[in-house]
Amino acid sequence: MTVFRPAAAWPALAAPTLSLVLALACTWHGRASAQPEGTRAPARAALTVTLAQPQRADLPMRIPANGTVHPWQEALIGAEGGPWRLVEVRAGVGDAVKRGQVLAVFAGELVQADVALARAGLAEAEAVLAEMAAKAQRARELQPTGVLSTEQVQQALTAERTAQARLQAQRAALQLQELREKQLQVLAPDDGVISTRSATVGAVVPPGQELFRLIRQGRLEWRAEVAAADLAQLRAGQSVRVQATGAATVTGRLRMVAPTVDAASRNGLVYVDLPGAPGLRAGTFARGEFETGASSALTLPQSAVVMREGFAYVFRIGPDQRVAQTKVGIGRRVGERVEVTSGLEPSARVVASGAGFLADGDTVKVVDK
């Protein structure tokens, strides 16, 4: 037989259970509150770090610049005579050539025939002069005797002078034809490197047409733009470190500062002589720095500076071994050290390495190096 308890009896059953739960909760809270403060677990160090302090150092003062590598001088080599047909091309792009080296040859049959004709004319003029000179000599000898009239003597002397003039004209004509014959060969005007070639075998080339371009002596220069305010610090002979795309860093010498400044950009051109180096080519972009002296600066190891969101930070170590992220200004970099321009005093203690793994407020353990 099922017995139903009346609803009025439920509060009487729940009251003892609720009292027991409250008693247990109060007991647990009392024990937790009674735990001594000194027995709590200490904060664990996030990272073991080494300490660094700012140091004074003399850093070089440099003016940065951008520019392009150019040939020092570029010689344009073309046909001096013609129009002639090219029969041989002996040089190509990138070839190192010597002064006077043959680069190309033209067909010379017609010119050689003209040379032979001029030589024959010279021989004829020499023979005529010899004959006229002999007649003039006889006229001079017979003039005192009266055998020849004055008119005949003058005619003989005039014929001699005319023959001399014709001989000189034939010699000049022969020199002209020999010069044309020399022009059948295109010669390098200086030592250097061929930078471009448009000469093609079989082409008929008119006078003055470009066939080659030559970088004279293989010399290159860096033409860079420098702000007008910095031009006064530059002098001829200063050393310049230049880094061209795809080439090793080289040390050049400032040769000249342009006498004018561009009115639009307010920049002036500077010309820097570059030494030969593998991978250094005309037309490549290059960055450089002009050394203008040195100045004292506060520096830190580069490993102590962290870049976050475009700003530089260091982590200062406090007395409680907690770090504080501090924003600083940075400037010149030399070797493994970087200049600190603002945000840090010389007596500060900062994390020397591993700062990239830290966050503001982390606890660290400092050890000696």
Residue 45 confidence class, pLDDT cut points 50, 70, 90 = low
Assign domain 76-204 to its CATH architecture. Answer: Orthogonal Bundle (1.10)
Phi-psi region of 198 (alpha: psi -120 to 50; beta: other; left: phi over 0): alpha
71, with CB counted inside 10 A (0-12, 13-18, 19+), is buried
Instruction: Work out whether the CA dihedral 129, 132, 134, 136 comes out positive or negative.
Output: negative
> Which DSSP string corresponds to 230-270?
GGGG--TT-EEEEEETTS--EEEEEEEEEEEE-TTT-EEEE
Rounded Cα distance between 271 and 141, Å, is 74
Contacts of 57 (CB under 8 A, 6+ apart): 296, 297, 299, 334, 337
Lowest mean pLDDT among 14-28, 144-158, 184-198, 244-258: 14-28
User: Span 324-346, mean pLDDT?
Assistant: 90
Q: Are 281 and 218 in contact (CB under 8 A)?
A: no
pLDDT, position 332:
85
pLDDT, position 341:
92
Q: Can you give the pTM of this predicted structure?
A: 0.64
Residue 232 scores a pLDDT above 50: yes
Which segment, 21-35, 184-198, 275-289, is predicted with the most confidence on average?
184-198
The three-class DSSP label of residue 285 is strand
User: Span 232-239, mean pLDDT?
Assistant: 90
Residue 21 confidence class, pLDDT cut points 50, 70, 90 = very low
Count the helices and strands in the chain (H runs, E runs). Answer: 3, 21
pLDDT, position 369:
63
Q: Are 38 and 290 in contact (CB under 8 A)?
A: no
Strands of the sheet with 74-78, listed across from one edge: 74-78, 210-216, 192-197, 96-97
Contacts of 94 (CB under 8 A, 6+ apart): 193, 194
Contacts of 153 (CB under 8 A, 6+ apart): 139, 140, 142, 143
Residue 289 scores a pLDDT above 70: yes
Contacts of 33 (CB under 8 A, 6+ apart): none
Asked if the 64-72+218-292 domain carries CATH number 3.90.1010.10, the reply is no
Position 338, amino acid:
V
Residue 15 scores a pLDDT above 50: no
For tokens 């809270």, the residue is 29
Q: Are 80 and 183 in contact (CB under 8 A)?
A: yes
Residue 254 confidence class, pLDDT cut points 50, 70, 90 = very high
CATH no. for 48-59+296-367: 2.40.420.20
Q: What is the mean pLDDT of the chain?
A: 86
Q: Which of 334, 321, 307, 310 is nearest to 362 (CA)?
A: 321
Tokens (6 digits) for 318: 């406090």
pLDDT digits (tens, 9 = 90+) for 167-206: 999 999 999 999 999 999 999 999 999 999 999 999 999 9
Contacts of 51 (CB under 8 A, 6+ apart): 317, 349, 350, 351, 352, 366
User: Span 146-158, mean pLDDT?
Assistant: 90
Rounded Cα distance between 344 and 300, Å, is 10
The three-class DSSP label of residue 59 is strand
Q: Residue length, the chain?
A: 369
Residue 5 confidence class, pLDDT cut points 50, 70, 90 = very low
Q: What residue segments make up the domains of the chain, in order of their start? A: 48-59+296-367, 64-72+218-292, 76-204
Contacts of 361 (CB under 8 A, 6+ apart): 322, 323, 324
pLDDT, position 6:
44
The three-class DSSP label of residue 288 is strand
Residue 8 has φ and ψ, to the nearest 5°, of -65, -15
Residue 40 scores a pLDDT above 50: no
